[in-house]
Amino acid sequence: MNLTFGPIPSRRFGMSLGIDLSANTKQCNFDCLYCELAPAKTVDKQTYSSNINDIVEQVKISLQNHSNIDVITFTANGEPTLYPYLSELIDEIDKIKGDIKTLILSNGANIYEPKIQETLSKIDIVKLSLDCISTQCFKKLDRTHSSVDCSKILDGILEFKAKFHPTLIIEILFVKNINDKQEEIKLLVDAIDQISPNRLDIGTIDRPPAYDVKPLSFEELESIANQFKNQNITIAYKHRPKSLQKYTKDEIITLLKRRPLTKDDIDNTFDQSSKDILNMLLNDNKISLINKSGVEFYKFEK
């Protein structure tokens, strides 16, 4: 059984070697409407778990065969934190990974549990989903298992960040007519202000979903992104429209004061003269180019 996959290129993390902690079947405490996997009954623990030694051996082989790996990613056909030996596996991977970063892609459902917090604190980059704040929205969109206490998730994230100071990325996936309502967006904006993650990734459905739900347009995502102030935001959109505009120096500064822009943002919206002004501002130290977990942002210097 293949317990690892890749390495595959990731626009946000470089070359990623994936470890699938539920390789033979979906095992998740969410059954999200937008999931690309087939619908499945939610669980609060794995009924089948791969052997640690088997995983480590496959990772060793990949490390021997590939010299360009940037991150080792703990993921799953489901939720990776349900893997009962995750803490021990992280320790074993740390012994062989060298300078390669570790990354986990988690739905964040059990981040309020002390044992999970301790385990995730050993990973270099922690990426948590946070699609909703209200319990009603969580249950409608993410379709949580009965053991998940949605009301504790935000507090759990805040506690985790305060105690362990991780490189923390929050991902929000927006679904038409569910969490794109203004009252839900307001709750998310307030929550992200409190969390202040290293990076915020927002997106929408871009693969066939498990249920009959619809994506947002890029323009709708961009409008939502502009409501988050002073956050390092990436917008994931499969066929992002390109519309080159001419901006003055003052307009560029105003844009960057609203939120930092990625190189993708610049390439898709700035014409050449605007890029020249941007580089001038960079050379004059009016703005800076910062790297947040593999993504570079142009940011206004106050």
| CATH number listed for the domain at residues 4-241 | 3.20.20.70
Give the closest residue to 155 by CA, choosing from 115, 106, 112, 187: 112
Mean per-residue pLDDT for 269-276?
A: 86
Quote the DSSP letter at residue 30. Answer: B
Q: Tell how far CA 22 is from the center of its chain.
A: 19
**What is the β-pairing status of strands 295-300 and 287-292?**
antiparallel
- Residue 184 pLDDT exceeds 70: yes
Residue 87 in contact with residue 118, Cβ under 8 Å?
A: yes
SS3 257: helix
Average pLDDT over residues 181-208: 93
Domain with residues 243-302, CATH architecture:
Orthogonal Bundle (1.10)
From edge to edge, which strands make up the β-sheet containing 261-262?
261-262, 295-300, 287-292
Whether the predicted pLDDT of 128 surpasses 70: yes
Pick the closest to residue 66 from 145, 115, 150, 9 (CA basis): 9
pLDDT for the residue numbered 301: 72
What predicted TM-score, i.e. pTM, was given to this entire model? 0.82
Average pLDDT over residues 231-253: 80
The stretch 147-153 carries a mean pLDDT of: 91
Which of 29-33, 78-82, 188-192, 255-259 comes out lowest in average pLDDT? Answer: 255-259
Report the alpha-carbon distance of residue 196 to residue 302 in Å, rounded. 18
Encode 215-231: b = buried (16+ Cβ within 10 Å), e = exposed.
bbebeebbebbeebeeb
Q: What is the pLDDT of residues 167-176, one digit of tens each?
A: 999 999 999 9
Of the listed ranges 59-63, 248-252, 298-302, the least confidently predicted one is 298-302
pLDDT given for residue 293 in this prediction: 65
Going from N- to C-terminal start, the domains of the chain cover 4-241, 243-302
- The rounded distance, in Å, linking the Cα atoms of 130 and 187 is 11
Residue 85, pLDDT score = 95
Asked whether the beta carbons of 76 and 82 are under 8 A apart, the reply is yes
Average pLDDT of 85-92? Answer: 95
Is there a cis peptide before residue 7, judged by omega within 30 degrees of 0?
yes
Average pLDDT, the chain: 88
Q: Where are the alpha helices (DSSP H) in the chain?
A: 52-65, 86-96, 114-120, 135-141, 153-164, 182-195, 218-225, 249-258, 263-269, 272-283
Q: What is the pLDDT of residues 248-272, one digit of tens each?
A: 887 788 778 777 888 778 887 788 8
The reported pLDDT for the residue numbered 191 is 96
The single residue listed with the structure tokens 């703990």 is 74
